[in-house]
Amino acid sequence: MAVSIRKVAPQNMQAEQVCLILDVRTEAEHAMTALEKEHIHLPLDRLQAREFMQEQQLDGGTPLYVLCAAGARATKAAEMFAQAGLNNVHVIDGGIQACKAAGLPLIIRPGMSLERQVRIVAGSLVLLACVLGTWVHPGFYGIAAVVGGGLVFAGITDWCGMAMLLAKAPWNRSSKRS
């Protein structure tokens, strides 16, 4: 049975008097930009829907709003909740980016976004592969092809393995940035 995931505008979440908001972005993303409104942060890769429902005593009465950067990870989380039997779950359409565009109060801290880190690492790998392919051995051009293919895959699927690896890097793991 297909599950229908409700996508709502950020203003819908702000209008709710009683609701639970779950941010499923990585620690690094959350450390840089977060809602001022009370919420729970739990990265998608650590989310266990049934356990979360038990811990938060979610029975479907209180609406659950799920948030990520743009909506893809929040949709995956909402599907997990729906499969676990929770029907009162909503995805913030457009994620934290839409919240910012809607003028919702956010806490913004300095730092380098994962997206920017991915661009730096991918660009560096392609540049290095081209230099090594030109002056050392043409086989190094294969690295550039793999990185390019990974970027195309990330663009099509909205899932980036390099970003997930960088999110686990020591400089991105601390959620206690000032």
Residues recognised as catalytic: 68
| Phi, psi values for residue 32, rounded to 5° | -85, -40
Q: Tokens representing 41? A: 């942060």
CA distance 62 to 119: 39
Q: Which residue has the tokens 């000032």?
A: 178
CA distances from 16 to 21, 25, 103, 109, 142 (A): 11, 22, 16, 26, 52
CA distance 96 to 101: 9
CA distance 42 to 44: 6
